[in-house]
Structure 1
Amino acid sequence: MKDEEKQSQKTVPLKSRKMGRFMKKRWVYPAVYLAFAAVVLASVLWYQNDASNSKDEPNSAFDNNDKAVPVSVSKEVFKMPAKDPNSVAIKKEFFDPDASAKEQEAALVFYNNIYYQNKGIDLAAESGKTFDVTAAMSGNVTKSVKDPELGYVVEVEHTNGLITHYSSLASVKVKEGDRVNQGEVVGSAGQNLYDKDAKIHAHFEIRKDGIAVDPVSAWNQSASQIEKLVDKEEQASKKEDRASVEQSKSDSVQDSNAAPEKNKEKESSSTSENSEQSSSNDN
């Protein structure tokens, strides 16, 4: 029995003493703490990296800010801005530079003894009465004010830099900052001082980056299609401007080349006249 006690005293306390000596060293606890912190930090970094990789995957109904974008909005096309499109008609067309002289004259607005080009279309009910004006496409209301010449004015901002303008309104039902859906009533048609001859009507415009677009050409067109249409028109306009500049340069060169010949003709004619005068004097 005594031998067993002696053996136990020799083995068990030896390990505990070594562990106790090891734990008493000053660097042990800081090392353990740093190792634990390193494991936690590595776990956090791994989790963040995995989360960022999952965000890079495309989401069909979400944008980069994780805001929901209704699929129907992205597929919207411009519609007639009237609650009952069949009850209204275009009374004044968009001024088209390529139209005939008669059509251009019909698309002018006479105000304060000055003719202005119509940058949109004027809609009026066949009955001559007021009617509900609706949003041609979903968007955000950026302006809702009363203008002394245009009446109530509403502007709605859409995607791709497109803005729809509604004026000559007798009243409005939206305010700045509102979100309107396509077909939602924004106001009612009325009269204004700018175009008295139109009587009760609603003036409607579509603008792309400040450039007026013929609303008739925009019917049943999406925002991206309108953007392409405007880009083509701008490119065509730039080509015409360059061609005009080249033509003017060519005309100026021809005029400069023709000038010396004209001067020579003048000199020869003046010389012949002088010789004729001298001969007559001699006689």
Structure 2
Amino acid sequence: MNPEKPNNVSSFDKVKKQMKWKRFLAKKWFFPAIYLLAAALIISVAWWYQGTQTKEVNQSLKGEKDTILPVERPPGNPTDDDMILPIAKGAAQKTVTYYEEASPQQQREDSIVKYANSYWPHAGVDFARKDGKSFDVLAALDGKVIRVEKNPIVGMQVEIQHESGLITVYQSLEDVRVKEGQMVKKGDILAKAGRNQFEKEAGNHLHFEIRKGKQAVNPEQYLKNAK
């Protein structure tokens, strides 16, 4: 039979433990250390939560396809794609096309002009009526008239510069109605189809060119959707 410990010994032990804990709490570094530990714990939880949310968002986005929104241009700001034929619908027919090296042989031969005992590749598109009569020549696109002059070979000609930098050229004209510096809208009447010396046998016709820089380019690439 073991004798029980006196009650005063047990009370002393409790008091001793309490004193040790109070001395521990009285240390200057104790509470700052607690604060730092709590802050580190909060930051760790925040990082973990943020990483979890980011992962969930990324996984949800993987199943979605990119959506390309159409670019809407402001009204009244036409582009080269808005180009129209330089004649009214049904007013004339296309008679000579642009000379392309890659075209079939017969088409290349039809796109060569003989002038002054020399052969010249056709640099544009010609329009004429079957009955040989004149017709209205229209601006193919909005722009500024930068040249109106009479050339002894190609006849009266008008040049219009457009916002993109392209220049449309209208030759073999008569009864010109525009002036240099004038702003025109597509579809405005510029002149009447007339005659010139370069394509004398063509009679009344319009010779239409498109120039990019100083180089003539095939008008068909801009007129393919024109109405």
* TM score, norm. by length of structure 1: 0.51
Residue 220 of structure 2: aligned partner = 216
Gap regions ≥5 residues in structure 2 = 1-72
State how far apart, in whole Å, the 1-side matches of 2:146 and 2:112 are: 27
Q: Aligned pair in 2 of structure 1 residues 149, 91: CA closer, same or farther (>3 Å)?
A: same
How far apart are 1:159 and its partner, in Å? 1.7
TM-superposition CA deviations, 1:140-199 (whole Å, max 9, x none): 000001111111100000022200000000221001000010000111001101111211
Equivalence for 1:93? 97
1:152 matched residue in structure 2: 156
Contact 1:78–1:220 (CA under 8 A) maintained in structure 2: no
Q: Equivalents in 1 of 2:104, 2:191: separation in Å?
A: 34
- Percent same amino acid at aligned positions? 35
Q: Distance in 2 between matches of 1:216 and 1:86?
A: 17
Q: 2-side partners of 1:194 and 1:151: how far apart?
A: 8
Measured in 1, the distance between the counterparts of 2:116 and 2:169 equals 23
Aligned equivalent of 1:115: 119
- Tell me the equivalent position of 2:44: none
Letter in 1 for 2:104: S
Tell me the matched-pair count.
Answer: 154
**Structure 1 unmatched runs, 5+:** 1-68, 223-283
Q: What is the deviation of 1:220? A: 5.7
Give the match's secondary structure for 1:115. Answer: strand
Q: Pick from 51, 60, 75: which aligns with 1:71?
A: 75
Stretches of 4+ moved more than 6 A in 1? Answer: none
Normalised TM-score (structure 2)? 0.64
Partner residue in 2 for 1:80: 85
- Distance in 1 (alpha carbons) for counterparts of 2:162 and 2:172: 21
Residue 96 of structure 1, CA deviation: 0.8
Alignment of 1:9-158 (within 5 A): 71-75=75-79, 77-82=82-87, 84-158=88-162
Question: What is the DSSP-based 3-state SS (H/G/I as helix, E as strand, rest coil) of the residue aligned with 1:110?
Answer: strand
2:182 maps to 1:178: yes
Alignment partner of 2:166 out of 162, 169, 186: 162
Alpha-carbon shift at residue 221 of structure 1 (Å): 6.2
Contact map agreement 2:136 2:189 (CA 8 A) in 1? yes
SS at match of 1:104: helix
User: Which residue of the partner structure matches residue 7 of structure 1?
Assistant: none
Q: What does the per-residue CA deviation read over 1:210-230, in whole Å, with 9 as the maximum and x for residues that have no partner?
A: 2222112211669xxxxxxxx
Change (3 A) 1:97 1:85: same
Higher percent of residues as helix: 1
Q: Work out which of the two has the higher radius of gyration on C-alpha atoms and give 1 or 2.
A: 2
Higher relative contact order (CA 8 A, sep 6+): 2
The Cα shift of 1:70 comes to 6.8
SS of the aligned residue for 2:201 comes to helix
User: 2:3 corresponds to which residue?
Assistant: none
SS at match of 1:74: coil
Give me the whole-angstrom Cα distance separating, in 1, the residues matched to 2:179 and 2:78.
24
Measure, in 1, the Cα distance between the counterparts of 2:119 and 2:95: 17
